[in-house]
Amino acid sequence: MYTLKSKDGEARRGEIQTSHGIFQTPAFMPVGTYGAVKSISPEILESIHAEIILSNTYHLMERPGVEIIKANGGLHNFMSWDKPILTDSGGYQVFSLAKKRKITEEGIEFNSALNGNKLFLNPEVCMELQQAYGVDIAMALDECTPYPAEISVAKESMHLSMRWAQRSRDAFQSDNSSLFGIIQGGVYKDLREESLDILKKIEFEGYAIGGLSVGEPKDDLQGITSHIAPLMPANKPRYLMGVGTPLDIVKAVESGVDMFDCVIPTRHARNGYLYTSEGIVKIRNSIHKNSLEKLDPNCDCYTCSKFSRSYLHHLDKTKEMLGSTLQTIHNLYFYLNLMRNLRAAIETGTLQSFVKEFEITWNNPSNPNIDI
């Protein structure tokens, strides 16, 4: 499934084969929680060269429900996207919907936010759902350990995730899709190593680092990632879940991570927070009201090639749907383009200088337009 094409330091340039085609790594997966990347169509996704997207097992289970997706011929057909799809298991919802769920050894009980119905998710159900959706990459059910967590709590939580990982593996049977295990262990390196060892013994088609970017300091995010990524199997994909800012991603690629997903480009786009070659542009701010400039003079995306900042500002202020669409196109283009540039840098062995250059804009406290 994974083919390594070249390396530059720890960084890896590769590609991953799925039954819905190949995608290049390092890869960024736009998030389409409910089977749609918010505000843009699959056609647009293809036009900005998205090669794989992420969707969500739990949210799709709640709405529209697995039966409707099955009746539509699977998730690809349902949403008319014929490239690879990865689904998160719902493990993150254990964390983000903390007030609405109960965790036991057996699984997770959710109280639906929609109608109060009791929903139940355990590794077996979770695997069954993801296989019924027909996704290319399924994730093991895990508990995303919150931050901060005492070492004893993080350890117990990690071990639960590992038992669930074994059950996920046992329940997952498929010839044309893959299952990834998820490393937990909070900000504790020894727990992370232990978690990885357990998962390696179980054997998955890929391995993910979970439970990061949940509020921990940047040093922990980078520290844990750079520590654990190089220890992950070299012949399989490495996926850092839920990360992150452009700088987070660049750093993690340097550490040898292959796959990313994050709501930042899409959610921030809808909130008028846009990534450009010069830093952040908050298009909602009044300073852009009269600007005839392009959003990013160095960007080739549809939004930047056709519209002025004052138009984007206007769309955002009037809450026109087109504003969300154009801004999402731009932010995703920025992310996908960044991944392209990273891949090219690894291929040519110039990642170090690429990162240095990147940090001039994105890791410079004296630049007001950044997001460290």
Which 3 state secondary structure label does DSSP give 137?
strand
Residues 246 to 265 in contact with RNA, rule: CB under 7 A: 248, 261-264
Report the alpha-carbon distance of residue 310 to residue 286 in Å, rounded. 9
Which 3 state secondary structure label does DSSP give 178?
strand
- Binding of RNA by 37 (CB under 7 A): yes
Residues 6 or more apart in contact with residue 325 via CB below 8 angstroms:
39, 40, 44
Q: Which of 320, 330, 316, 306 is nearest to 286 (CA)?
A: 316
- With respect to RNA, which residue has the nearer C-beta, 91 or 353? 91
Q: Which of 88, 136, 296, 316 is catalytic?
A: 88
Tokens 């300091």: give the residue: 217
- With respect to RNA, which residue has the nearer C-beta, 99 or 118? 99
| Cβ count within 10 A of residue 286 | 8
Which 3 state secondary structure label does DSSP give 333?
helix
Report the alpha-carbon distance of residue 316 to residue 319 in Å, rounded. 5
Q: Which of 8, 136, 248, 261 is catalytic?
A: 261
Tokens of 8: 């530059």
CB of residue 95 to RNA, shortest distance in Å: 6
Which 3 state secondary structure label does DSSP give 186?
coil
Q: Which of 42, 211, 237, 256 binds RNA (CB under 7 A)?
A: 211
> Could you tell me where the beta strands, DSSP code E, fall in the chain?
2-8, 11-18, 21-25, 27-29, 53-56, 85-88, 101-103, 108-111, 118-121, 137-139, 178-183, 206-209, 238-240, 259-261, 273-276, 279-282
Residues 146 to 175 in contact with RNA, rule: CB under 7 A: none
- With respect to RNA, which residue has the nearer C-beta, 6 or 253? 253
- Binding of RNA by 56 (CB under 7 A): yes
- Taking CB under 7 A as the binding criterion, the range among 102-110, 210-218, 229-237, 292-300 that sits at the site for RNA is 210-218
- Binding of RNA by 113 (CB under 7 A): yes
For the question of residue 88 being annotated catalytic, the response is yes
- Binding of RNA by 33 (CB under 7 A): yes
- State the binding string over 73-112 for RNA (x if CB under 7 A, else -): ---------------xx-xxx-xxx-xx------------
- Binding of RNA by 340 (CB under 7 A): no
- Taking CB under 7 A as the binding criterion, the range among 18-26, 188-196, 268-276, 345-353 that sits at the site for RNA is 268-276
Report the alpha-carbon distance of residue 29 to residue 258 in Å, rounded. 11
Report the alpha-carbon distance of residue 254 to residue 323 in Å, rounded. 34
- Binding of RNA by 38 (CB under 7 A): yes
Q: Which of 16, 129, 137, 139 binds RNA (CB under 7 A)?
A: 139
- With respect to RNA, which residue has the nearer C-beta, 138 or 355? 138
CB of residue 78 to RNA, shortest distance in Å: 17
Residues 235-273 as b or e (16 or more Cβ within 10 Å = b): ebbbbbbbbbbbbbbbbbbbbbbbbbbbebbbebbbebb
For the question of residue 8 being annotated catalytic, the response is no
Residues 6 or more apart in contact with residue 357 via CB below 8 angstroms:
none
Q: Which of 80, 287, 352, 364 binds RNA (CB under 7 A)?
A: 287
Q: Which of 37, 50, 117, 124 is nearest to 89 (CA)?
A: 124
- Binding of RNA by 135 (CB under 7 A): no
CB of residue 193 to RNA, shortest distance in Å: 18
- With respect to RNA, which residue has the nearer C-beta, 45 or 264? 264
- Binding of RNA by 31 (CB under 7 A): yes
Question: Cis (ω within 30 of 0) for the bond into 148?
Answer: yes
- Binding of RNA by 206 (CB under 7 A): no
- Binding of RNA by 272 (CB under 7 A): yes
Catalytic residues: 88, 261
Positions that interact with RNA (CB under 7 A): 31, 33, 37-39, 54, 56, 59, 88-89, 91-93, 95-97, 99-100, 113, 139, 142, 144, 182, 208, 210-211, 213-214, 218, 221, 241-245, 248, 261-264, 266-268, 270-273, 282, 284-287, 289, 317, 319, 321, 324
